[in-house]
Amino acid sequence: MQELSVRHLLGIKDITPQDIQLIFETADNFKDVLNRPIKKVPSLRDITIANVFFENSTRTRLSFELAEKRLSADVINFSSSGSSVKKGETLLDTVNNILAMKVDMIVMRHSSPGAPHFLSRHINANIVNAGDGTHEHPTQALLDSFSIREKYGEVAGKKVVIIGDILHSRVALSNIFALQKLGAEVMVCGPITLLPKYIKELGVKVELDVRKALQWCDVANVLRIQLERQQMKYFPSLREYTLYYGIDKKMLDSLDKEITLMHPGPINRGVELSSDAADSHHSIILNQVENGVAIRMAVLYLLASKTA
């Protein structure tokens, strides 16, 4: 069996295009499993996985938990809100206490960029980064690229624009790395205040006009405004943001070609996307959610074979 070049999935930056293709091929097989009447395989029957979430999550947490259960792993869930972290326990102590209970793999979301990288230097268990602050969210980028591959046959040569709050988005950075490794052209679009200062150094195009961006692309991946991460006002109001960067079905229908609409969720309907756009035939948003389970099954399965 082919195997990954890494022991942990900390970020897309750390993996090779071959790793991504292997994850996709494995996910293809698991997607077939998920469409059977019996959706379970005994692949990780002897593995215990802890979902350690220090930030709120719905889709990612449910997707990982479902992926783990479909692989027959034993699953424990940890949420910082009702834990000893509130009593002053450190991240390393928290995780070491969980590992003392013979846990094999950690899926972690944390508000601090680099938290999974720090842990990987101190513990033996495999780590999957489920989002670290504004840094990376590797499984989201993998499922986004997998969804593009499913729709078009391949990612190479496709034009993908990421629209919205690029500055505070971990999804944007991981997507840029994944799409470039797979041979896509990438553009970012948003208000100048929500674009990182040196974003062009990542080799992406920059566009401030959302209509021009949509006209250029094959796929538009629309991000929400991350108000919970913003320490100051980056634009006058949500109403003004919607006026300049909101996408509706009328705008999509006015383009002289068909494009595909994506969103990592949660959608703020009426802000970055109108309901008629989000629910239109352009959208593959629910396909992304479905593919998330298969991608996470593939990642967990491949990493389990790299246990220390």
DSSP the chain: ----S-SSB--GGGS-HHHHHHHHHHHHHHHHHHTSSS----TTTT-EEEEEESS--SHHHHHHHHHHHHTT-EEEEEEGGGSGGGGT--HHHHHHHHHTTT--EEEEEESSTTHHHHHHTT-SSEEEEEEETTTB-HHHHHHHHHHHHHHHS-STT-EEEEES--TT-HHHHHHHHHHHHTT-EEEEES-GGGS-TTGGGGT-EEES-HHHHHHH-SEEEE----GGG-SS-SSS-HHHHHHHH-B-HHHHHTSSS--EEE--S---BTTTB-HHHHTSTTB-HHHHHHHHHHHHHHHHHHHHTT--
33 in Cβ contact with 13 (< 8 Å): no
Using the structure block, give the residue that is written with the tokens 């972290």. Answer: 85
Return binding residues: 59-60, 87, 109, 137, 140, 170, 224, 265-266
In this prediction, residues 30-34 reach a mean pLDDT of 96
**Residue set of the binding site for carbamoyl phosphate:** 59-60, 109, 137, 140, 265-266
| pTM as predicted | 0.94
Q: What is the pLDDT of residues 122-151, one digit of tens each?
A: 888 999 999 998 999 999 999 999 999 999
Please state the residue numbers annotated as binding site for L-aspartate: 87, 170, 224
Q: What is the pLDDT of residues 203-246, one digit of tens each?
A: 999 999 999 999 999 999 999 987 655 556 777 788 999 999 99
What are the boundaries of each domain within the chain?
Answer: 8-137+289-305, 138-284
Tens of pLDDT, residues 57-107: 888 999 999 999 999 999 999 887 766 666 678 888 888 888 889 999 999
pLDDT (tens digit per residue) in 159-203: 999 999 999 899 999 999 999 999 999 999 999 999 999 999 999
Can 8-137+289-305 and 138-284 be said to share one CATH topology? Answer: yes
- The amino acid at residue 62 is L
Superfamily of domain 138-284: Aspartate/ornithine carbamoyltransferase (3.40.50.1370)
pLDDT in tens, 253-298: 999 999 999 999 899 999 999 999 999 999 999 999 999 999 999 9
Query: Does the pLDDT value for residue 308 go beyond 70?
Result: no
**CATH 3.30.465.10 describes domain 8-137+289-305:** no
Please tell me the number of Cα atoms within 13 Å of 175 on its side-chain side.
31
* DSSP for 125-187, written as a single string: SEEEEEEETTTB-HHHHHHHHHHHHHHHS-STT-EEEEES--TT-HHHHHHHHHHHHTT-EEE
